[in-house]
Structure 1
Amino acid sequence: MLIALIARDKPGALQTRLDNREAHLAYLKETGVVSQAGPLLDEEGGMTGSLIVLDVADMAAARDWAANDPYAKAGLFASVDLIAWKKVI
């Protein structure tokens, strides 16, 4: 099952993102369920959130993955949406 995780950073939380980036990137690689991932950017190119496509068994697995992301544990996100997604192209 493909799940799009769309997370928006809390305002002014860039340093939290930078401080936890290495752990987050390692988590993406180690878990083996990330199909695609990258930061959301503002008009100036600054990182303001994350878009991650997970390939997991079900929504419960996506919720568990999201809760254990180092960014989430560090309190980076103002919001996180998990949305079932169907790849067409």
Structure 2
Amino acid sequence: MKDRLMLLAAGLLCSCGAWVLWHWWSEYITLALLILVLVGQSLDNQRLRRQVRGLVAERDQRERRGERQRALQRLWRALRAVREQRGIADR
């Protein structure tokens, strides 16, 4: 029963707040909501850009690591080929 009363009180408070906003700020409420949405979208866009930038940097780092690995493998194969040509055995 206590939860229902708290929920009812919260609903009444929100509805009274909405009425006050529309009653006294009816001319500016659209602008205020537009600004609020614009600021929210801008902040979300910045957060997503930061996240994408981090993911791209991580992908590039993995690719560079893979290229280094492949270059070392090619170098090792070339070294083995030279050693085999000279008749030097691997230990």
TM-score normalised by length of structure 1: 0.23
Q: Which has the higher strand share?
A: 1
Q: Which has the higher helix share?
A: 2
Q: Could you say which structure has the larger radius of gyration?
A: 2
